[in-house]
Structure 1
Amino acid sequence: MSALAEAVVDLGAIAGNVRTIASVVGTGLMAVVKADGFGHGAVPVARAALGAGAGWLGVTSAPEALALRAAGITAPTLSWLHRPDDDFGALIAAGVDIGVSTTTHLHAVVDAAYRLGLPAVVQLKADTGLSRNGAAGSDWPELVSWARKYEVEGGVRVRGVWSHLADADVPGSPRLAGQVAAFEEALRVARSAGLDPDLVHLANSAAALSAPRTRFDLCRIGLALYGVDPFGGTGPGEFGLRAAMTLRTTVVNVKRVPAGAGVSYGPEYVTAAPTTLALLPVGYADGVTRAAGGRAAVWLGGRRCPIVGRVAMDQCVADAGDLPVAIGDPVVVFGPGQGDGGQPTVAEWARWAGTNPHEILTGVGARVARDHLHEGTEMS
């Protein structure tokens, strides 16, 4: 039985984006495939990115990292957010680098390494101004001191030092230079403690594309990997990235209604004139967020048709006007179109919902089928 909606993922676009970004940055790339590859499918995205030249994979959690290993992916992988009681032994045994931000976590990782009889490979994270994860400046000297002690004793290998940026997507942000300076100071402290990391990385997608000083040895690419302009553009942007996901469905009911017809719950929308309403079997459980109601549109019958009335969990309604719409007609919710009057893009949906594209992509629900197209495959 077929799904009511599908997310078509163009793995050729993923590969092309890796090559495009690599040509700009001139460093190694870490493909960030957390949250099931931003909703695109972590395993197929990882394979496409690695095949196109990415050297690393990045995930948030131990289960995400171990799922990649279970799929047979052996590429260098960094997992960076953990509880102190996580099963670090499983990560060590799987050859996954462990992001460490506190001495509490470091001690737990080393305990697991000693129990296993294998050194843990860690990457120490400094907080350079995001005030989220990472060791604060006052805690950093203690963390690197303990890491060096454990390294000498054979409990760990410190492969990397890294941090994360707060607003690299804001052109001219004064915070960026301050974070780079704080990162360089964290590196100085780490090296003064005797550490000699192989990898130093700071840049996310936006910084990788626009701030050469942040590139160091490796750039972590998330949103740009999936073809979305990290600076908020609603079209393909100046870098030539290609959006990888198209969310599409079909019309499941059509009705002609008079002026004054209420649409969906409330009703919050009442038709101003006779019109044709097309029922779409996608709602907020599928990624069509309620927050975009009254502003969003879909591509139906060769033009944009507005979503009208309140978006429900499983369905929403498009106002097709006088288009000759029929049950079974294809609908594109968002795709790699040009925006600005063509097929809506995920960036436009983010703007309509008052959020970022990350939330729209990761919000595409599990009941939406994923169809992965390999490089050279045409989408029907």
Structure 2
Amino acid sequence: MNETAPAPTAPLRARAEIDLGALRANVRTLRALAPGAALMAVVKSDAYGHGAVPCARAAVGAGATWLGTATPEEALDLRARAGLPAGVRIMCWLWTPGGPWREAVEADLDMSLSDMWALREVVAAARAAGLPARVQLKADTGLGRNGCQPGDDWAELVGEALRAEAGGLLRITGLWSHFACADEPGHPSVDAQLALFREMVAYAEGQGVRPEVRHIANSPATLTRPDSHFDLVRTGIAVYGVSPIPEQGSSADFGLRPVMTLKASVALVKQVPGGHGVSYGHHYVTPGTTTLGLIPVGYADGIPRHASGTGPVLVGGKWRTVAGRVAMDQFVVDLGGDEPEPGAEAILFGPGDRGEPTAEDWAQAAGTIAYEIVTRIGTRVPRVYVNEDVPVEDEAALIDRVVPGYESDDAAQGRDGKRSGT
């Protein structure tokens, strides 16, 4: 995983600046949108490429009381390294047979169960550990991935989990599911899944399940479907300031600020004649005398090769476009005769404040989604954390930029002894 790096004293080949002040502001914005629910910050895949431990700490500092990972290994690492306050829950949901169930029980993780094999394995682990396991039962309400099917399968899983709970081997802490098309507001599957989830929850509770949390809302549902919030919302990409519904609104439209800014230092600037081929395959040939700039990142760093010829970069205050193919370690931009000094800053994407492209611009260029753009930035690119410790008054000002009139919890408590803005 990426560790916190101090601000460099000399320019780096490349760097991903992670603005933890923006992340905290995003968490507070999302909490304000779901005031009746707890908030889970999903930090799977190294916090979508942003760095799991620093982002988890920042999210908890802004009021997240749950953290979510995909794999148990991610969750165990987070529990071991993050130094989280007591009471912060960590949930993981992607299990395979023979997984580290006992370690997860002993680490007090919440473990998702979708099938009887998983229930049998967690019960055996709880017996071996001499501790009850915390488990959440996942319902497949229509996504067709993980989760237990409604009907007899759900009845069997619920029944056997209750028997294990009665035997002191586990505690059923949650009932949950996941939307398939929440990023398409108005899609009929959203209402259908929500109705089925209510039915499956009602059945489980009718049998005696008393969950701490019921949850189905992901980032897009948190933003657009308050009727799906239940007891907990699971916010992933929105925590990192990327719009999960770009067709419906940008990050700014939802009061979010992108957390990652990807920069590189221009490695070489040279003049070439017209008709000069650029990069592998000569898919770009200079139309006339021009200058080329070498940007020292490539697909080994997570720059999508599919963005060859289309990816945008800000160099010298102007948008440039990848000229020719993205190679493993580098790509070229046509500077149109401009001659920035070697070492000049090239911004691949960021919040857009300086006119730079955003992750969504790269997603459009590569024919993918912005989730993939930020998540794929590799470990060869150091993460440099900024705004790690922001005074309350400064944090309130940052929040006010994205949610006008909103006060931080600490600032509000200092003013009148109670929370505001939720």
1:73 paired to 2:88: no
String of CA shifts for 1:202-228, please: whole Å, max 9, x gaps: 000000010011100000000100001
- C-alpha distance in structure 1 between counterparts of 2:163 and 2:112, whole Å: 17
Provide the secondary structure at the position in 1 that maps to 2:191.
Answer: helix
Paired position in structure 2 for 1:189: 203
Contact 2:242–2:371 (Cα < 8 Å) also in 1: no
1:177 paired to 2:186: no
- State the Cα RMSD in Å: 1.6
- C-alpha distance in structure 1 between counterparts of 2:140 and 2:225, whole Å: 19
Provide the secondary structure at the position in 2 that maps to 1:220.
Answer: strand
- C-alpha distance in structure 1 between counterparts of 2:226 and 2:62, whole Å: 22
1:130 paired to 2:143: yes
Provide the secondary structure at the position in 1 that maps to 2:335.
Answer: strand
Q: How does 1:1-380 map to 2 (within 5 A)?
A: 3-26=12-35, 27-71=37-81, 72-73=83-84, 75-138=88-151, 139-232=153-246, 235-337=250-352, 342-373=355-386, 374-376=388-390
Deviation at 1:297, TM superposition (A): 1.1
Normalising to structure 2: TM-score of the pair? 0.87
Deviation at 1:158, TM superposition (A): 0.1
- C-alpha distance in structure 1 between counterparts of 2:94 and 2:60, whole Å: 23
Deviation at 1:237, TM superposition (A): 3.3
Deviation at 1:338, TM superposition (A): 5.2
Amino acid at match of 1:11: L
Deviation at 1:192, TM superposition (A): 2.1
Deviation at 1:376, TM superposition (A): 3.9
Contact 2:12–2:265 (Cα < 8 Å) also in 1: no
Contact 1:236–1:338 (Cα < 8 Å) also in 2: no
Deviation at 1:78, TM superposition (A): 0.3
Deviation at 1:325, TM superposition (A): 1.6
String of CA shifts for 1:250-302, please: whole Å, max 9, x gaps: 10011111111100000111111211110011001112111111111101000
Provide the secondary structure at the position in 1 that maps to 2:253.
Answer: coil
- C-alpha distance in structure 2 between counterparts of 1:186 and 1:281, whole Å: 52
- C-alpha distance in structure 2 between counterparts of 1:125 and 1:187, whole Å: 10
User: How many residues align structurally?
Assistant: 376
Amino acid at match of 1:330: E
String of CA shifts for 1:87-127, please: whole Å, max 9, x gaps: 11101111111011111001100000011110000011000
Contact 1:249–1:332 (Cα < 8 Å) also in 2: yes
Deviation at 1:2, TM superposition (A): 7.2
Contact 2:275–2:288 (Cα < 8 Å) also in 1: yes
- C-alpha distance in structure 1 between counterparts of 2:233 and 2:194, whole Å: 14
Paired position in structure 1 for 2:419: none
Contact 2:269–2:339 (Cα < 8 Å) also in 1: no
- C-alpha distance in structure 2 between counterparts of 1:273 and 1:376, whole Å: 50
Amino acid at match of 1:31: A
- C-alpha distance in structure 2 between counterparts of 1:157 and 1:39, whole Å: 32
